[in-house]
Amino acid sequence: MNWQSQMMELLAASLIRPVVLAAAAWLILRVYKVRHPASRHAVWTAVLIGMMVLPLVSVIAPQWKLPLLPKKPEPVAHTQIQAPDFTATESSDVRPAIIASAPSHAAKFAWPAPQTLIVWVYFAGVLAMTIFRLMGWALLLRIMSKSRLLRTRLLESNEVVTPVTVGVLRPSVILPAGWRDWSASTKHAVLTHEFAHIRRRDTLTSSLTRLAKCIYWFHPLAWWVSRQVSELAELSCDAAALEKNGDPGGYSRILLGFAETVNAAGYRAAVPGLAIASRSGMGQRIDQVFELADGNLRRLSRPGTVLAFMGVPVMCIAAVVGLTTPASRVFHQAAAVIIPSQPVVVAQLQQPGASPVQAPPVTPAPVKPPISQSPRVPVSGFDVASIKPCSFADAPLVPGGRGGGGGRSLNTSPGRLNIGCMTVSDLINVAYKSSGDPLANDSAGPFDDKRLRGGPAWVYSERYTIEAATDSAVANGTTGFQTAADEIMSGPMLQRLLEERFRLQTHREVETIPAYALTAAKSGFKLKPMAPGDCIPDAPMKAVLGAKPRCGWTGRGTAGPNMILVQGGVSLSRFSQVLGDLILDRHVVDDTGIAGTFVIQLEYSPDDSTPDRPGPGRPVRSSESSDIPPGPTIFTALEQQLGLRLESTKTPHGYIVIDRVERPSEN
**Cβ atoms within 10 Å of 264's Cβ, excluding its own:** 8
> What Å distances lie between residue 643 and 8, 84, 516, 575, 600, CA to CA?
33, 28, 16, 14, 12
Q: Are residues 139 and 281 in the same domain?
A: yes
Q: How far apart are CA 190 and CA 453, in angstroms?
A: 64
Q: Are residues 16 and 41 in the same domain?
A: yes
Residue 113 lies in a domain: no
Q: Are residues 497 and 390 in the same domain?
A: yes
Q: Are residues 137 and 65 in the same domain?
A: no
Q: Are residues 389 and 519 in the same domain?
A: no
Encode 600-611 in three state secondary structure. EEEEECCCCCCC
Give the end of a domain, one of 274, 297, 320.
297
Residue 75 lies in a domain: no
Specify whether the backbone of 406 is left (phi greater than 0), alpha (psi in -120 to 50) or beta.
left
Q: Are residues 408 and 323 in the same domain?
A: no
Yes or no: say if 380 and 363 are a contact pair by the CB < 8 Å rule: no
CA proximity to 422, closest of 465, 381, 385: 465
Q: Are residues 478 and 500 in the same domain?
A: yes
Q: Are residues 289 and 201 in the same domain?
A: yes
Q: How far apart are CA 159 and CA 310, in angstroms?
A: 45
* pTM for the structure as a whole: 0.47
Yes or no: say if 433 and 439 are a contact pair by the CB < 8 Å rule: yes
**Cβ atoms within 10 Å of 147's Cβ, excluding its own:** 19
Question: Which residues sit opposite 550 in a β-bridge?
Answer: 536
- Write the CB contacts of 10 (distance below 8 Å, at least 6 apart in sequence): 55, 56, 59
pLDDT for position 347: 42
**What residues make up the domain containing 168?**
119-297
pLDDT for position 533: 79
Residue 667 lies in a domain: no
Residue 666 lies in a domain: no
**216-228 burial, b for 16+ CB within 10 Å, e for fewer?**
bbebebbeebbeb
**Cβ atoms within 10 Å of 539's Cβ, excluding its own:** 19
- Write the CB contacts of 490 (distance below 8 Å, at least 6 apart in sequence): 95, 410, 412, 417, 430, 431, 434, 435
CB-neighbour burial class of residue 272 (10 A; exposed 0-12, middle 13-18, buried 19+): buried
Q: How far apart are CA 589 and CA 572, in angstroms?
A: 10
Q: Are residues 401 and 290 in the same domain?
A: no
Q: Are residues 403 and 440 in the same domain?
A: yes
Is residue 372 classed as helix, strand or coil in its secondary structure? strand
Is residue 331 classed as helix, strand or coil in its secondary structure? coil
Q: Are residues 632 and 506 in the same domain?
A: no
Yes or no: say if 328 and 508 are a contact pair by the CB < 8 Å rule: yes
CA proximity to 491, closest of 411, 402, 430: 430
Residue 365 lies in a domain: no
Give the end of a domain, one of 492, 510, 528.
510
Residue 182 lies in a domain: yes
Q: Which amino acid is present at 599? A: V
Q: How far apart are CA 105 and CA 112, in angstroms?
A: 15
Q: Are residues 540 and 460 in the same domain?
A: no
> What Å distances lie between residue 588 and 1, 239, 542, 605, 649, CA to CA?
11, 60, 27, 19, 9
Torsion over CA: 281, 287, 292, 297 (sign) = negative
- Write the CB contacts of 308 (distance below 8 Å, at least 6 apart in sequence): none
CA proximity to 398, closest of 91, 667, 84, 97: 91
Residue 461 DSSP symbol: T
CA proximity to 43, closest of 53, 55, 30: 30
pLDDT for position 245: 79
Q: How far apart are CA 369 and CA 82, in angstroms?
A: 10
Number of domain units in the chain:
4
Residue 661 lies in a domain: no
Identify the H or E element spanning 385: strand 384-390
Yes or no: say if 635 and 646 are a contact pair by the CB < 8 Å rule: yes
Give the end of a domain, one of 278, 297, 316.
297
- Write the CB contacts of 107 (distance below 8 Å, at least 6 apart in sequence): none
Tell me the Cα Rg of the chain: 35
Q: How far apart are CA 367 and CA 228, in angstroms?
A: 67
* Phi, psi of 515, rounded to the nearest 5 degrees: -150, 180
Q: How many residues does the chain have?
A: 667
Q: How far apart are CA 610 and CA 607, in angstroms?
A: 5
- Write the CB contacts of 317 (distance below 8 Å, at least 6 apart in sequence): 20
Rounded mean pLDDT for each run of 10 residues along the chain, 667 residues in total:
67 81 87 86 89 77 58 40 35 34 43 78 93 90 91 90 90 91 90 93 92 92 92 90 85 89 69 80 84 76 70 70 46 33 41 41 39 40 88 57 50 87 90 80 58 88 91 71 74 90 90 89 89 74 60 80 86 88 84 90 87 49 60 91 91 88 82
pLDDT for position 18: 86
Residue 114 lies in a domain: no
